Structure 1
Amino acid sequence: MRVTLKDIADEAGVSMMTVSNVVNGKRARVSPETIERIQRIVAERGYVPSASARSLAARSSRMIGLLVPAADEDSLMISPHNVAILGQIERELRKSGYHLLLRGIAEPSEVAEALKSWSLDGAVLLGFLDEDLDRLTAGAVGNVSLLAIDSYSTNPLTTGVRSDDYTGALLAARHLLDLGHREIIFAAPPFSSVGVVHQRYDGFRAAFAETGLMWTERLATVETTTHATGRELGHRLLTEHPEATAVFATADILAIGIMEGLSDSGYDVPSDVSVLGFDNLDLSEYVTPKLTTIAQDIPQKAAIAVRRLLAAIEQREHPTEAVTLDVHLIERASTSHPRGARTADTGADWISPKPS
């Protein structure tokens, strides 16, 4: 049978209120001897406080929703990057005594429904289009605090935290250009005029502009961000773009799929094609060759997101500016000079024709 607060109080010879105060850390008016006796009985009896009772007393559910887009009614858009974010957010919330509820959202209108039906104290929005976040209104979300991760939405209801996507792509393109690549594929999911991928697209092109080089749209390829899609792209990459010597993929999982597809087709990475990703997920070090990538600080992103969200919930602090975190290039074995290229100080042409 479940041990109750009353059971502990009866055995300790004190009131239920005294036991509740000790269990919940309110011990200023309780003697050290009584605290020690209650703690001993709690440990011996295996008493676990009721989360629902605590929530009722505090008028708080202590539940935070992690809302992610659902591609359809049966699946969630949980990429390896989002899984890493999810794990870090749960860890940070657990430290503060909150619980995480994962909920898929098939239609933007379901956000308000999820917030109200689960009595959430707050919610993190991950992976939504900025256009969808822009449409959220105070009337729809009520008093629930919201925070968006990896968003460029101007909606003050969702001000959150993101990585410096523009600079990350700029660093990626600079690295490939410095190695001597000119015909570089930009592989990314569909994107609009705002958002994470658009920032990376702009940063990528800026690297060419600052060196006076031209990059053509024919080298852009739109792909879903999955390993399977990347592998398919790798299979056909040099058939569709025989001039290409490098690929910048806007996600590690896509880049890793591309490397596998190229290998399946008899090409070597990086001798035939250099591949560079974005995220620095753990698996980028587990593949062969190890993946050169743009590293973002996922633990810090999660910690800042939780800290900001809990400040909004508990102190009603609502920041007006998003936090943008630095990124940096990690050079590993998946990038090198293009075959036949010379070093920059020779002043000679960097690119040689791709061998047949």
Structure 2
Amino acid sequence: MVRVTLKDIANEAGVSMMTVSNVINGNRARVSPETIERVRRIVAERGYVPSASARSLAARSSRLIGLLVPAADEDSLTLSPHTGAILGQIERALRKRGYHLLLRGIAHPDEVGEALQSWSLDGAVLLGFLDEEVDALDVTVPVLAVDSYSRNRLATGVRSDDFEGGRIAAAHLLGLGHREILFAGPSFSDVGVVHQRFEGFRQAFADRGLSWSDSLIATVNTTHASGRELGLRLRADFPSATAVFATADILAIGVMAGLVETGVPVPGVVSVVGFDDLDLSAIVTPKLTTVAQDIPTKAAMAVDLLLAAVEKRDRPAEPVTLDVHLVERESTAPR
């Protein structure tokens, strides 16, 4: 199929290419109604599609927004189910606003600036970076960090109420009579998403005047495979544990798989709670009790905040924190 060009439309309409461009882009103050109608009719009949690159050049904007995620190394990019869910929602929100999404893996934090410049990005969403990495950013293109507790004003973004999520997860299990509850998640420092979930988890014990032992921490990667490995050895490594709070659904589902493989019923012997409320949580067996975060709203808010900066509009000076809630399913039961 031969591509119809701006010149083709101009020749058929008997006007200049500039006039056609003005009509297409809405700059019609100096174009007669008759010419506007003629150009629009020919555009429709010929199926003309404006060049995105040409329109971007005219607007001095690439209309490209990067989604930058950490890469395990220079040759691979592994997306967690949570990241995949956010990616899909961000792409949809950007498409509705006339922007395009570029996914880029970042092996080293100093590649962020390189990616912004080399691809002429109008802005970028950062997902999954450590807070200290976000803290160190110094870029001129607008960026926004999702799920970050960084104080870098350049990257002020949106996150879920991780503290409250950890608190209600533990409170649910405590309410069922569990006291020996394992906290399972990746290693963490004194800031960040996992730290906040851990602090909320401990707060639930404090609220009830109960003590909790730091020996009930399992440091594992946030993957199904790592969760399964933990589930396989859980009864040997943590014999007193009657419940597990995993900081991500995919990890919790892996834990359940490992427990079942070793003949430990869930929730008959060990109850499990996750975090995210991914679609997968409602179709595994048993269906996973989890802390739900509003991923569609988080993605839409991230796009709104970033484009406010891109388009030189006001943007909140503080991160936006979204509510979470517990979704009770089949993976938890009374002690």
TM range (shorter): over 0.9
Q: 2:253 aligned with 1:256, yes or no?
A: yes
Q: Tell me whether 100-109 or 18-27 shows the greater mean CA deviation.
A: 18-27
Q: Shift of residue 194 of structure 1?
A: 0.2
Pairing partner for 2:204 from 202, 207, 218: 207
1:313 match: 310
1:53 match: 54
Q: 2:176 aligned with 1:172, yes or no?
A: no
Give yes or no for contact 1:68–1:77 (8 Å, CA) kept in 2: no
Q: 2:178 aligned with 1:181, yes or no?
A: yes
Q: Shift of residue 320 of structure 1?
A: 1.4
Q: Tell me whether 316-325 or 27-36 shows the greater mean CA deviation.
A: 27-36
Q: Shift of residue 31 of structure 1?
A: 5.2
Unaligned runs of 5+ in 1: 339-356
Rounded to whole Å, the distance in 1 between the matches of 2:270 and 2:35 is 71
Residue 47 of structure 2 aligns with an amino acid whose one-letter code is G
Rounded to whole Å, the distance in 1 between the matches of 2:38 and 2:106 is 48
Rounded to whole Å, the distance in 1 between the matches of 2:182 and 2:34 is 71
Change in CA separation of 1:335 and 1:33 when aligned onto 2, cut-off 3 Å: farther
Q: Shift of residue 318 of structure 1?
A: 4.1
1:343 match: none
Question: With structure 1 as the length reference, what TM-score do the two structures score?
Answer: 0.91
Residue 120 of structure 1 aligns with an amino acid whose one-letter code is L
2:319 match: 322
Rounded to whole Å, the distance in 1 between the matches of 2:98 and 2:220 is 40
Change in CA separation of 1:267 and 1:98 when aligned onto 2, cut-off 3 Å: same
Q: Shift of residue 291 of structure 1?
A: 0.6
Q: Shift of residue 315 of structure 1?
A: 1.7
Pairing partner for 2:264 from 262, 267, 276: 267
Q: Shift of residue 128 of structure 1?
A: 0.2
Q: Tell me whether 180-189 or 17-26 shows the greater mean CA deviation.
A: 17-26
Aligned to 2:321, what secondary structure does the other structure show?
strand
Superposition map of 1:200-239 within 5 A: 200-239=197-236
2:79 match: 78
Give yes or no for contact 1:284–1:291 (8 Å, CA) kept in 2: yes
1:6 match: 7
Unaligned runs of 5+ in 2: none
Deviation per residue, 1:325-355 (Å, 9 max, x gap): 00000000111112xxxxxxxxxxxxxxxxx
Rounded to whole Å, the distance in 2 between the matches of 1:211 and 1:195 is 25
Rounded to whole Å, the distance in 2 between the matches of 1:233 and 1:32 is 71
1:126 match: 127
Deviation per residue, 1:74-116 (Å, 9 max, x gap): 2224110011111111111111111111111111111111111
Rounded to whole Å, the distance in 1 between the matches of 2:104 and 2:35 is 43
Identity of aligned residues (%): 73
Rounded to whole Å, the distance in 2 between the matches of 1:182 and 1:26 is 68
Give yes or no for contact 1:151–1:160 (8 Å, CA) kept in 2: yes
Residue 301 of structure 2 aligns with an amino acid whose one-letter code is I
Deviation per residue, 1:238-264 (Å, 9 max, x gap): 111111111000000000111111111
Q: Tell me whether 14-23 or 112-121 shows the greater mean CA deviation.
A: 14-23
Q: Shift of residue 25 of structure 1?
A: 3.4
Aligned to 2:286, what secondary structure does the other structure show?
coil
Residue 25 of structure 2 aligns with an amino acid whose one-letter code is N
Aligned to 2:215, what secondary structure does the other structure show?
helix
Rounded to whole Å, the distance in 2 between the matches of 1:238 and 1:39 is 71
Deviation per residue, 1:273-299 (Å, 9 max, x gap): 111000001110110111100011111
Rounded to whole Å, the distance in 1 between the matches of 2:39 and 2:117 is 38
1:68 match: 69
Rounded to whole Å, the distance in 2 between the matches of 1:228 and 1:36 is 61
Rounded to whole Å, the distance in 1 between the matches of 2:266 and 2:108 is 40
Rounded to whole Å, the distance in 1 between the matches of 2:269 and 2:71 is 37
Cα root mean square deviation, aligned: 1.4
Aligned to 1:336, what secondary structure does the other structure show?
coil
Give yes or no for contact 1:8–1:19 (8 Å, CA) kept in 2: yes
Give yes or no for contact 1:65–1:122 (8 Å, CA) kept in 2: yes
Residue 273 of structure 1 aligns with an amino acid whose one-letter code is V
Rounded to whole Å, the distance in 1 between the matches of 2:332 and 2:155 is 37
Q: Shift of residue 32 of structure 1?
A: 5.2
Rounded to whole Å, the distance in 1 between the matches of 2:38 and 2:253 is 58
Rounded to whole Å, the distance in 1 between the matches of 2:245 and 2:146 is 23
Q: 2:157 aligned with 1:160, yes or no?
A: yes
Q: 2:289 aligned with 1:288, yes or no?
A: no
Q: Tell me whether 192-201 or 94-103 shows the greater mean CA deviation.
A: 94-103
Q: Shift of residue 69 of structure 1?
A: 0.5
Aligned to 1:38, what secondary structure does the other structure show?
helix
Rounded to whole Å, the distance in 2 between the matches of 1:25 and 1:83 is 36
Rounded to whole Å, the distance in 2 between the matches of 1:322 and 1:90 is 21
Rounded to whole Å, the distance in 2 between the matches of 1:17 and 1:336 is 70
1:193 match: 190
Residue 51 of structure 2 aligns with an amino acid whose one-letter code is S
Question: With structure 2 as the length reference, what TM-score do the two structures score?
Answer: 0.96
Rounded to whole Å, the distance in 2 between the matches of 1:125 and 1:291 is 28
Give yes or no for contact 1:277–1:292 (8 Å, CA) kept in 2: yes
Residue 39 of structure 2 aligns with an amino acid whose one-letter code is I
Change in CA separation of 1:185 and 1:40 when aligned onto 2, cut-off 3 Å: same
Residue 190 of structure 2 aligns with an amino acid whose one-letter code is S
Change in CA separation of 1:9 and 1:234 when aligned onto 2, cut-off 3 Å: same
